[in-house]
A and B are shown apart, each in its own frame.
Chain A
Amino acid sequence: MTLLSIAYFGLCAALLVLATWRIRRADPEATVAALFDRLLDDRAVRIAVIVVWWWLGWHFLAGATL
């Protein structure tokens, strides 16, 4: 089951990289930076994304939740 879980997350990460590369090849403007520029243009969305990012660090490093 551990291997299955690692394989699942590995597959998600590999698909993310592969799909990003293929889409970028078809449309040079479709970059990850351009995607996040549009996503984070709105303050409300920016705050939501920053909180989720911060919580990942909190969860693994600081919070006694693991």
Chain B
Amino acid sequence: MGAQTDADADAGAAGRRPRALPWPVLCWVTVLLLIGIVQIVRAQWFDTVVFFGAALLVAAARWPPAIAARLVPLRVVVAAAVLAGIVVCVLPRHGGGMVSVVAAIGIAALALAWPGRAAGPRPWTPGLRRLAWVWSGLVVAGCLWELAQFVLGEIHPDAPSYALSDLLDPLLDGAPGRFLFTAAWLAGGVFLLRRGPRG
């Protein structure tokens, strides 16, 4: 749910940034730290740095003053996403070129997501609250399955794994699977970049 709280409003009215992290931000910091801990167990050090770094960035993002977003036109974002998608589809997976392009996509997305003043309190209708609970519950259910598969893999390293990653991995080696995944991933990114203060 949104992170605008009464404490934020009071602090905003007094012209200062609130010191404490509101609970939605605390929840996200906790989620990022938990994913980071799983990455330590997986011995994936780059991913560990990403998630612990992201937790720090998310906690720190509360304090710099908000910058008014200069909305990048949708057609520019879509054209950049299509171009990025074409490049991603032709580059070999896990190669140096792919690493560079996906890293560049991440940096660009963060740069576009950073600015934007909160639009202020917007009403959470009962329907929206229900929607938030359903989405949260189902995403957590998917994550718990992934975690269970990971734990089973640690207990029985020789047994095959059935995590989503292992199911999708063979599909992404083929052109249709790579195209569908890249299109869905980038479309999701464009959607996220158009929401919030821009929505």
The answer to whether A48 and B54 touch across the interface, beta carbons within 8 angstroms, is yes
A56 to chain B, nearest CB (A): 6
Interface residues of B in 158-199 (CB under 8 A from A): 160, 162-169, 172, 181-182, 185-186, 188-189, 191-193, 195-197, 199
The answer to whether A44 and B142 touch across the interface, beta carbons within 8 angstroms, is no
The answer to whether A32 and B131 touch across the interface, beta carbons within 8 angstroms, is yes
B73 to chain A, nearest CB (A): 18
- Among residues of A, the one whose C-beta sits closest to the C-beta of B162 is A5
Q: Is the interface of B mostly helix, strand, loop or mixed?
A: helix
The answer to whether B99 and A33 touch across the interface, beta carbons within 8 angstroms, is no
A38 to chain B, nearest CB (A): 4
**Alpha-carbon distance A58/B182, docked complex (angstroms):** 11
B197 to chain A, nearest CB (A): 6
A38-B66 contact in complex given A20-B134, A30-B125, C-beta closer than 8 Å: no
Chain B: residues with Cβ within 8 Å of the partner, total of 82
The answer to whether A64 and B94 touch across the interface, beta carbons within 8 angstroms, is yes
A2-B196 contact in complex given A26-B127, A35-B128, A35-B132, C-beta closer than 8 Å: no
Asked if B93 is at the interface (CB within 8 A of a chain A CB), the reply is yes
Task: Give the chain A neighbours of B1 by CB distance below 8 A.
Answer: 38-39
Which of A12, A33, A45, A58 contacts B142 (CB under 8 A)?
A: A12
Residue with the highest number of chain B CB atoms closer than 10 Å, among A12, A32, A43, A65: A43
The answer to whether B25 and A44 touch across the interface, beta carbons within 8 angstroms, is yes
The answer to whether B199 and A51 touch across the interface, beta carbons within 8 angstroms, is no
**Alpha-carbon distance A27/B181, docked complex (angstroms):** 31
**Alpha-carbon distance A24/B182, docked complex (angstroms):** 28
The answer to whether A36 and B106 touch across the interface, beta carbons within 8 angstroms, is no
Residues of B within 8 A of A (CB): 1-4, 21-22, 24-25, 28-29, 31-32, 35, 42, 44, 46-47, 50-51, 54, 57-59, 61-62, 66, 88, 93-94, 98-99, 101-103, 105-106, 109-110, 113-114, 116, 118-119, 122, 124-128, 130-132, 134-135, 138, 141-142, 145, 149, 160, 162-169, 172, 181-182, 185-186, 188-189, 191-193, 195-197, 199
